[in-house]
Structure 1
Amino acid sequence: MSDLADREWRLIRDDPRDGATQMAIEEIAARTALEDDLRTVRVYSWEPSTLSLGYRQDAETVDWDYCDREGIDVTRRQTGGGGIYHDRYADISYSIVAPAEEVPGNLMDCYELFCQPILEGLRRMGVDADFASVEQSSIYQPSCYLRDINPAHDVVAPASAGEDAKKISGNAQYRQRDVVIQHGSISYDLEPAHHVGVFDANLERETFTDRVTSIREEVGIDRTEAVDALATALGEWCDAEEAAWRDGELEAASDLADRKFGTDAWVRDREVLEASGQ
């Protein structure tokens, strides 16, 4: 349990949602943290499968025809880094939302704090996971899982393999209205064809599998069991009560998804809403 456990937290085992809604709902959770003094941890999945672009990623790096043909949604995150293919089955995602004044101001210290329950969840699954012990150079910059591996926020397995360990989770943070939002992707299984296919580049599947591992590959447990282990670790970390989104939050997230995260202006051109429209 962390020092943040004396605050009010909720744990949401979220329903599968489309990419635009998943991004919008984090901003609504940030508003709730500030206005209602209620912090959020959650686990979630993507329906349909979605490519989330990094904040500054060039839309021309996407193979739009491939995504359209394969029924893969595309959205853009508020966090930087490369694009992540979030498979409906193979990806497990999480987010943590808390007021900035309550967490370390140093980015690396905040990563270390917020990744505690992620590492604990993986260990409960039986995965030998930890922050990367050594840096690894980038293979393909537009892809999160093929970028350079950073010991500050990239989680690898098996950790005992040292420089031969493979990436299993990527994590990123941003600050919005004095709130820190961290979200991350954890590989439950591997879908290398889609992970490389969503990009407009000639990448072999082995490029992905040589760099990335998964929960299923490491320990072979059922996905439901893996999701439960992660959710339980998150909830215990901050002593959260299990809850659901309020109707008003879901309505606000749907509106923001329609106005921002689901629009071509945001996804392809990174055009930001005027402040009055936020």
Structure 2
Amino acid sequence: MRGEYKVPGGKLVAVELETADGRITEAFVSGDFFLEPDEALEDINAALLGLHTDAKVDDIAASISQRLPDEAHLIGFSPEAVGIAVRRALGHASRWEDHRFDLIPPVTMDPRMHVALDEVLAGEMARGEIGPSLRFWEWDRPLVVIGSFQSYRNEIDDEGRERHGIDVVRRITGGGAMFMEPGNCITYSLIVPASLVEGLSFQRAYEYLDDWVMGALAELGIRAHYVPVNDIVSEKGKIAGAAQRRLAGGVVLHHVTMAYDIDADKMLEVLRIGREKMSDKGTTSANKRVDPMRSQSGLPRDQVIEAFLSHFEGRYDVSRRGYTEAELAAAQELVDTKFSTKEWTHRIP
């Protein structure tokens, strides 16, 4: 059995195993990493012997750490990375290449429908009705999307919200508020099996699920990287924020919003917390805009989105599709019964 794991920003770790009676009997670790002293590789291999085939990543990493000499230096990988490769070799975890993805281009609709579609598609995947998917949002009206655990009154200035005619919806993932007007952001949702991030900490899972978009940004000439826990930044500052939730049925929902061209003045009149967050960024002048994707790519928003779609399509096994009538009907029902209700939106006053 063989498993591989490419450390984001690091090196490839490969593990070949043999097992008997529920235990690892032979183990060989290899890769393009660096390791000192050379003999430490034998310690890593020995640390895997005898481990139960159901051992978790933390257990595998602990066994390796205990076996390594104090003077050992692992460069480009870690005991955790070896543990993930072991779990993949044992069939507990999957790779991007193990899946076929539905790729859903933007469809313009009420942004509350997109919030609901995250839940609808996650449910379909949990029931085995669809596979994993990457989809892009497009919306026909302004909306503020607040995180599942945010306080409404702490986030929203109702006077400013009403003055600008902007509604609020609460999503099912955590994280911060998304100030969304037509054309001002680029937002996508990934719905994937939990096996894809099996063994990864929440922090590593964020980075791992957005590794593809780092490649897409690089093709656009934007050098970006992750800043824990959930920010994507370039040399010129923050580009995007991510949110994630692990749902019942072995499904992970992960979505990202990138600022394309945001009216910062309007945003700060609607979001209370936004004023504090932006206070150290010099956004006090009139008509100030937050536009990292527009200014750094130099491209129209639709071309950036198409570049993202094409990059993902060229990288993995995908099939483009639209939403089914049943999916849209289920999403509309959720909008009516949940996401448009005061009970849900104000569940944390």
Smaller-chain TM-score range? 0.7 to 0.9
Aligned to 1:142: none
Aligned residue among 232, 246, 258 for 1:175: 246
Query: Which amino acid in the other structure matches residue 233 of structure 2?
Result: V
Dislocated runs of 4+, deviation >4 Å: 208-213
Does structure 1 residue 32 correspond to structure 2 residue 124?
yes
Aligned to 2:34: none
CA distance in structure 2 between the aligned counterparts of 1:248 and 1:99, rounded to whole angstroms: 22
CA distance in structure 1 between the aligned counterparts of 2:190 and 2:341, rounded to whole angstroms: 25
Query: Which amino acid in the other structure matches residue 45 of structure 1?
Result: E
Query: Which amino acid in the other structure matches residue 254 of structure 2?
Result: Q
Residues 91-170 of structure 1 correspond to what in structure 2 (within 5 A)?
91-106=185-200, 107-132=202-227, 151-158=228-235, 165-170=236-241
Does structure 1 residue 83 correspond to structure 2 residue 182?
no
Distance 1:202 1:152, change over 3 A: closer
Aligned to 1:192: 264
CA distance in structure 2 between the aligned counterparts of 1:209 and 1:220, rounded to whole angstroms: 22
1:140-175 deviations in Å (ceiling 9; x for gaps): xxxxxxxxxxx33211122xxxxxx41110011002
Residues 16-55 of structure 1 correspond to what in structure 2 (within 5 A)?
16-34=108-126, 35-55=128-148
The gaps in structure 1 that reach 5 residues or longer are: 133-150, 159-164, 272-278
CA distance in structure 2 between the aligned counterparts of 1:240 and 1:41, rounded to whole angstroms: 9
Contact kept, 8 Å, 2:207 with 2:226, in 1: the verdict is no
Does structure 1 residue 260 correspond to structure 2 residue 338?
yes
Distance 1:103 1:258, change over 3 A: same
The TM-score normalised by the length of structure 1 is 0.80
Does structure 1 residue 226 correspond to structure 2 residue 332?
no
The TM-score normalised by the length of structure 2 is 0.65
The gaps in structure 2 that reach 5 residues or longer are: 1-93, 284-289
Does structure 1 residue 6 correspond to structure 2 residue 84?
no
Shift of 1:255: 0.4
Equivalent residue pairs, number: 247
* Percent of matched pairs sharing the same residue: 28
SS of the aligned residue for 1:57 comes to coil
1:155-206 deviations in Å (ceiling 9; x for gaps): 1122xxxxxx411100110022221000010111232112212124793896
1:113-136 deviations in Å (ceiling 9; x for gaps): 21112212222222222113xxxx
CA distance in structure 2 between the aligned counterparts of 1:9 and 1:251, rounded to whole angstroms: 22
Structure with higher strand content: 2
Query: Which amino acid in the other structure matches residue 187 of structure 1?
Result: A
Higher relative contact order (CA 8 A, sep 6+): 1
SS of the aligned residue for 2:102 comes to strand
